[in-house]
Structure 1
Amino acid sequence: MDTFALIVTILVALLFTYTNGFHDSANAIATSVSTRALTPRAALAMAAVMNLAGAFLGNQVAETVSKGLISTPHGSKGMAILFAGLVGAIIWNLVTWYFGLPSSSSHALFGGLVGAALAGGTTVIWSGVIDKIVVPMFVSPVIGLVVGFLVMLLILWLFRHSNPHKAKRGFRVAQTVSAAAMALGHGLQDAQKTIGVMVMALVIAGVQGSDDQIPVWVKLVCAMMLSLGTYAGGWRIMRTLGRKIIELDPPQGFAAESTGAAIMFGSAFLFHAPISTTHVITSAIMGVGATKRVNAVRWGVAKNIVMGWFITMPAAAAMAAACYGVVWLLFG
Structure 2
Amino acid sequence: MEVALVVVIVVVALGFAYTNGFLDAANSIATSVSTRALTPRIAVTMAAGMNFVGALLGTEVAETIATSIVDLDGATALQSLVVVLSALLGAVVWNLYAWWSGMPTSSTHSLIGGLLGAGLAGGMAVYGAEVVDKVVLPMLLSPAVGFVGAFGLMLALMWLLRNVAPARVNRRFRLAQTASAAAMALGHGLQSAQKTMGVIWLALITVGAATTSGGVPLWVKISAATAMGIGTYAGGWRIMRTLGQRIIDLDPARGFVAESVSAVVLYANAIVLYAPVSSTHTITSAIMGAGATRRWTAVRWGVVRTIAIYWLLTAPVAALLAAAATLALLPLVGG
Shared fold, TM over 0.5: yes
- Where does residue 49 of structure 1 map in the other structure? 49
Kept after mapping to 1: 8 A contact 2:54/2:190: yes
- Paired AA for residue 102 in structure 1: P
Moved more, 132-141 or 83-92: 132-141
- Where does residue 108 of structure 1 map in the other structure? 110
RMSD of aligned Cα (Å):
1.0
**Residues 87-106 of structure 1: per-residue CA shift (max 9 Å, x gap):** 00000001111111111001
**Residues 124-156 of structure 1: per-residue CA shift (max 9 Å, x gap):** 111122112211221111111100101111111
* CA distance in 2: counterparts of 1:329 and 1:24, whole angstroms: 35
* CA distance in 1: counterparts of 2:76 and 2:19, whole angstroms: 27
Find the partner of 1:119 among 118, 121, 134. 121
Name stretches of at least 5 consecutive residues in structure 1 with no aligned partner.
none
Moved over 4 A (4+): none
User: TM-score scaled to structure 2, two decimals?
Assistant: 0.97
Alignment of 1:68-147 (within 5 A): 68-72=68-72, 73-147=75-149
- Where does residue 204 of structure 1 map in the other structure? 206
* CA distance in 2: counterparts of 1:123 and 1:211, whole angstroms: 22
Deviation at 1:74, TM superposition (A): 4.2
Change (3 A) 1:258 1:66: same
- Does residue 330 (structure 1) correspond to residue 329 (structure 2)? The answer is no
- Does residue 173 (structure 1) correspond to residue 172 (structure 2)? The answer is no
**Residues 257-280 of structure 1: per-residue CA shift (max 9 Å, x gap):** 001001000111111111100010
Kept after mapping to 2: 8 A contact 1:144/1:283: yes
**Residues 221-250 of structure 1: per-residue CA shift (max 9 Å, x gap):** 000000000001111111100001000010
Kept after mapping to 2: 8 A contact 1:103/1:308: yes
Kept after mapping to 2: 8 A contact 1:74/1:205: no
Name stretches of at least 5 consecutive residues in structure 2 with no aligned partner.
none
- Paired AA for residue 208 in structure 2: G
- Paired AA for residue 78 in structure 2: S
- Where does residue 295 of structure 1 map in the other structure? 297
* CA distance in 1: counterparts of 2:284 and 2:17, whole angstroms: 21
Kept after mapping to 1: 8 A contact 2:26/2:243: yes
- Where does residue 8 of structure 1 map in the other structure? 8
Deviation at 1:110, TM superposition (A): 0.2
- Where does residue 258 of structure 2 map in the other structure? 256
- Does residue 282 (structure 1) correspond to residue 284 (structure 2)? The answer is yes
Question: Counterpart of 2:294 in 1: which secondary structure?
Answer: coil
User: TM-score scaled to structure 1, two decimals?
Assistant: 0.98
Moved more, 160-169 or 17-26: 160-169
- Paired AA for residue 65 in structure 1: I
Kept after mapping to 1: 8 A contact 2:79/2:333: no
- Does residue 318 (structure 1) correspond to residue 326 (structure 2)? The answer is no
Alignment of 1:18-29 (within 5 A): 18-29=18-29
Alignment of 1:211-230 (within 5 A): 211-230=213-232
Kept after mapping to 2: 8 A contact 1:260/1:284: yes
- Does residue 182 (structure 1) correspond to residue 184 (structure 2)? The answer is yes
% identical aligned pairs: 52
* CA distance in 2: counterparts of 1:276 and 1:152, whole angstroms: 22
Work out the number of aligned pairs and report it: 332
